[in-house]
Amino acid sequence: MDVRAGNNRAASHDPWRAARWRRQGYDRLYVHADSGISIGWYDLDTGDLHAVEPSFIEPLTAFVRHWLDSEEARAIGPLPPPHAPATHVVVQPRRGRRPAGRPRGGDA
């Protein structure tokens, strides 16, 4: 699905794309800009909506609502409306990865 992001710092003129991911007991719709910027995800089981940045929540919600009207979503069956998660999820870097700008080892 291709949808324009609107006025958004991530990709004001960049279409957003959705990809369904079903693994490890999760069923999610991941949304990213064509430029590769991750926007967030929608949990197809719970309706939880997770934006990578707070400024993405409104356009992400609109995008997911639009996607829910697509043939792909209708083929899945009834899905919950997108909403803020009941608990806050903090996305941590993968193990072994350093935050940008941090040197390896020591206090350097």
Structural domain spans, the chain:
2-76
Per-residue confidence (pLDDT) for residue 52, from 0 to 100: 93
Per-residue confidence (pLDDT) for residue 86, from 0 to 100: 72
In this prediction, the residues of the chain whose per-residue pLDDT falls under 70 are 1-13, 87-108
The residue whose two tokens read 């069956």 is 77
Average pLDDT, the chain: 79
Per-residue confidence (pLDDT) for residue 101, from 0 to 100: 53
> Cα–Cα distance between 19 and 98 in angstroms, integer?
27
Per-residue confidence (pLDDT) for residue 17, from 0 to 100: 93
pTM higher than 0.95 for the full model?
Answer: no
Q: Which of 66, 2, 7, 62 is nearest to 32 (CA)?
A: 2
Per-residue confidence (pLDDT) for residue 9, from 0 to 100: 44
Per-residue confidence (pLDDT) for residue 4, from 0 to 100: 44
36 close to 14: Cβ distance less than 8 angstroms:
no
